[in-house]
Amino acid sequence: MVSGPHTVTARLRRIEGKHNALVKELRQAFGRGELTASGECAIEGARVIEEAIRSGLKFHAVFFSESAQGRASKILPQLGSHVETLLLPDRLFANVVPSETPQGVAALVHVKVFTSQEILESSSPGPLLVIAGVQDPGNLGTILRSAEAFSAQGVLLGEGTVSAYNNKAVRASAGSVFRLMTAKVQMLEAIGQIRAQAFRLMATSSHKGTSLAVADLSGRVAIFVGNEGSGIDKKLLAQMDELITIPHSQRVESLNAGIAASIILCEEVDPDSSGHTAHPVSNRIANHEPDGIVSWRELQPIPIGHTMITDLFQFLRLQVIVNALRQICNNLAVQVLGDDSNIQNHVIAFRFIHRHEIRRHDQIELRSHIPR
């Protein structure tokens, strides 16, 4: 049975006062930036709500502002009849949610909580991420989004790390936080658990360590990402098996924590757009497959000694860079950075630009090898 506009409107229960129990619960959940005692997360924004629905989360209550009442006709038919649906005056709604320019829809949703042991014993082949003190919710959200994009096994959140359910982190994750396995841990205790599962411990470093270009990220790897300002604590660093550094200009002190983690994840996993392991670049070109993420290792010249073969691979390398940059430009024209940006495209471009420096002699003169 299709729900008409009158049916949808009839489901909305009008609330005028700020002392309503559900309104108070929503305000407190946003204020704490943590799950409620019953395991519910406060979320807001049309896109985040849609992601929660797509992720199959159980909704407790949905809140609409009067001016955004029209959104109810799209959202409510996707929710069960047991979900509380409230209509608030615009002023009350604005006082409850943290956004300065609210979109007029918020919700309390129940998310699944995992233990660190469940994550460590997961059969996922991807890397394990361990966050040691990332405090900016936007950075954490970016890391979570990239973790899902590159099929990470899960994310452990150490002490001093902002909550994954902070409103800004949820929005920056673009819904990935709803689908990823995450767990809070005490770092020193977690290291013992991680080692017991035969993981190698690797940490990001701004200026010292093994270059990412030659680092061995195969097998069971736990990647530690530290605080934006101070990095990883020295005591924790002493526990690492290896430090990884991403080569970059010395004019820049360090990379953003979210970008650094994304680059390493991209290098470790390299999935294509369908979520499977990438084909060799030659196969992708021969099969006319769409642009995807290509590992730098796939783009090295074949050691045949023939100039034409070497130049062809150089040419293909430049084409991948151009395609990646074109995707970024197209996205930036229509998307808002941080909430709707395509992190993968930024990572692709950064990886190719920093690892394959484009110099004049790289501008291949293929025409000298083409028969006339």
Is the distance from CB of 166 to CB of 89 less than 8 angstroms? Answer: no
**Same domain? 235 vs 121:** yes
Q: What pLDDT was estimated at residue 8?
A: 66
Same domain, 311 and 254: no
Convert the pLDDT of each residue in 91-124 to its tens digit.
Answer: 999 999 999 999 999 999 999 999 999 999 988 8
Q: Do the domain assignments include residue 142?
A: yes
Determine the Cα angle at 181 with ends 328 and 261, to 5°.
40
Contact 121, 197 (CB under 8 A): yes
Cβ atoms within 10 Å of 250's Cβ, excluding its own: 6
Question: What is the token pair recorded at 204?
Answer: 């990001």
Give yes or no: residues 63 and 207 share one domain.
Answer: no
> Percent of the chain at pLDDT above 90?
56
Q: Which of 66, 89, 110 is the last residue of a domain?
A: 110
Tell me, yes or no, whether 264 and 286 share the same domain.
Answer: no
Residues spanned by the domain of 129: 116-269
Q: Are residues 126 and 180 in the same domain?
A: yes
Q: Are residues 81 and 135 in the same domain?
A: no
Task: Give the C-alpha distances (Å, rounded to integers) separating 363 from 309, 312, 358.
Answer: 15, 11, 8
State which of 72, 89, 110 marks the end of a domain: 110
Domain limit, last residue, from 79, 110, 141: 110
Give the CA distances from residue 291 to residues 137, 180, 265, 324, in Å, rounded to whole numbers and listed in that order. 31, 26, 19, 8
Q: What is the pLDDT of residues 186-219, one digit of tens each?
A: 998 999 999 999 999 999 887 788 999 899 998 9
Pick out the chain residues at pLDDT < 50. 1-2, 271-312, 333-342, 344-345, 347-349, 351-372
Residue 258 maps to which CATH number? Answer: 3.40.1280.10
Q: Kindly state whether residues 222 and 307 are assigned to the same domain.
A: no
Same domain for 289 and 237: no
Rounded distance, CA 183 to CA 367, Å?
Answer: 56
For residue 274, being part of any structural domain is answered with no
Is 299 found in the same domain as 193? no
pLDDT for position 114: 95
Indicate whether 87 and 166 sit together in one domain: no
Instruction: Match 């082949």 to its residue by tokens.
Output: 125
Residues 226 and 146 in one domain: yes
As for how many domains the chain has, the answer is 3
Tell whether 103 and 155 lie within a shared domain: no
Residue at 244 is within a domain: yes
